[in-house]
Amino acid sequence: MLVHDLGPDLRKGTVLEAKHLDRVHQSGEVHVVALEPGDLHEDVAAARLASALAGPGLEPTTPVQSQARLVARRRGLVRVRGGVVDAINGLGQLCVFTLMDGQAVAEGEEVAGCKVTPVAVPGSLVEQAERLCHEQGPAVELLAFRPLKTFVVATERLKPKARELFRAAVTAKLGWYGADVRAVREVARTGRAVAATYREALEAGADLVLFAGASAIDPLDPAYAELPAAGGELLQLGAPMHPGSMLWLGRLGAATVVGVASCAGFGRNSSLDLLLPFVFAYGRADAKDLLRLGHGGLIEAGAGRRFPPYS
C-alpha cells in the first residue's frame, strides 16, 4: 500500500496492483508498506470504528481517505459520551471528533467523525475501540424529539403587532420540535388568572407549559407564587447563560414549566433555545439540565453552543 500520494488519481492508502506498475516506474522513489496478518486497511478500520461509534438515529458514511462521518437520520438532540471518546482517542492512531454534547441538529447534519491516522492499523486496536463502545454504550447517539402537549402562557399586555410576532415565533419554534400546541393564552398578571391557566394545563394533560412575562426578580410574581398551590414547584430560577440568564424552570404535575422574562424571548435565540431540545428529547427537564449549559453559555460572544437550525 502507498503511504504517500503519487498524484490526484493515486492516493496514499491505495493497494497497488499490476495496473499501477507503469505509473510506479515513472515515479522513481515510492514508499509502501506491507500488511501483516491481522492488520486492517485504513478504510476498513474507519468503517468499523464509525459503525461502533454510531448510536440510534445516526448513519455512518462510507470512509474516504480513512475518514468517516456520522450523519443524523432525523432531527434530534445529540448526546456524547465524552469518556468513551477520550478513551478511544487515547488508544492512539484512531481519532474521534464530535459536536458538543447537547446540540440540536436537523436531519442530514454531520454529528461526528472518525479518522485512522496511518494507512493501516492492527485489528486489535479497532477491537479495543469496539469493546469500549459495547461496554459503555455508543460514543454518540441522537435522541428523537417528542410531540409534547404544550401550553403557552403570556402575562404581558401585547399590542396587535407584538401579539402577531409572538404567536409567529412560538409557532415556528415549537413546530420545529413537532410540539402539539394545545393553547396560546394571554392572561392578566394576577394570581387568579395564572392559577386558572395552570389548572387548565393540568386538566388537559400538558407535558410542557411555556410561560412568558414573569418577573424573575419578583418572588411574588404569580407565575411562581401560584405553582405550589397548583401542585407544582419552582426548580431553578436563573440560567448560567447570557443572554437569557432570567430563564426559570419549574414542574407542574408531570409537566415541565419553562419561563422567560418576556414574550420577546421567543423571537430571538437565547438560553431557552438551548434548554428546549432537552425538554423535547426527554419529555421533561430538571435543574441539572439547565445548570450544565453553563459550559458554552457565553452566547453573545459567539463562543457558546450552537442554536437549533430552525430555518
My answer on whether 131 and 165 are in the same domain is: no
For residue 82, the one-letter residue type is G
Peptide bond into 222 cis (omega under 30): no
Alpha helices in the chain (DSSP H): 21-27, 42-53, 82-89, 123-136, 160-177, 191-203, 222-229, 271-282, 287-291
**Residue 300 falls inside a structural domain:** no
**Residue 163 falls inside a structural domain:** yes
Per-residue pLDDT tens, the chain, 311 aa: give them: 777 777 777 777 778 778 878 777 777 778 788 888 899 999 999 999 999 999 999 999 999 988 999 999 999 999 999 999 999 999 999 999 999 999 999 999 999 999 998 888 999 999 999 999 999 988 999 999 999 999 999 988 888 888 888 888 898 999 999 999 999 989 999 999 999 999 999 999 999 999 988 877 788 889 988 999 999 999 998 889 888 888 899 999 999 999 988 877 787 888 899 999 999 999 998 888 888 888 888 887 666 678 899 87
Q: In a 3-state reduction of DSSP, which class is residue 40?
A: strand
My answer on whether 166 and 258 are in the same domain is: yes
**Residue 309 falls inside a structural domain:** no
My answer on whether 222 and 289 are in the same domain is: yes
Owning domain of residue 60: 41-144
Distance CA 108, CA 249 (A): 31
**Residue 281 falls inside a structural domain:** yes
**Residue 22 falls inside a structural domain:** yes
My answer on whether 130 and 234 are in the same domain is: no
Q: What is the pTM of this model?
A: 0.88
Look at phi and psi of residue 23 and say left if phi exceeds 0, alpha if psi is from -120 to 50, else beta: alpha
Q: Using the 3D structure, point to which of 144, 163, 188 is the last residue of a domain.
A: 144
**Residue 285 falls inside a structural domain:** yes
Q: Using the 3D structure, point to which of 122, 144, 166 is the last residue of a domain.
A: 144
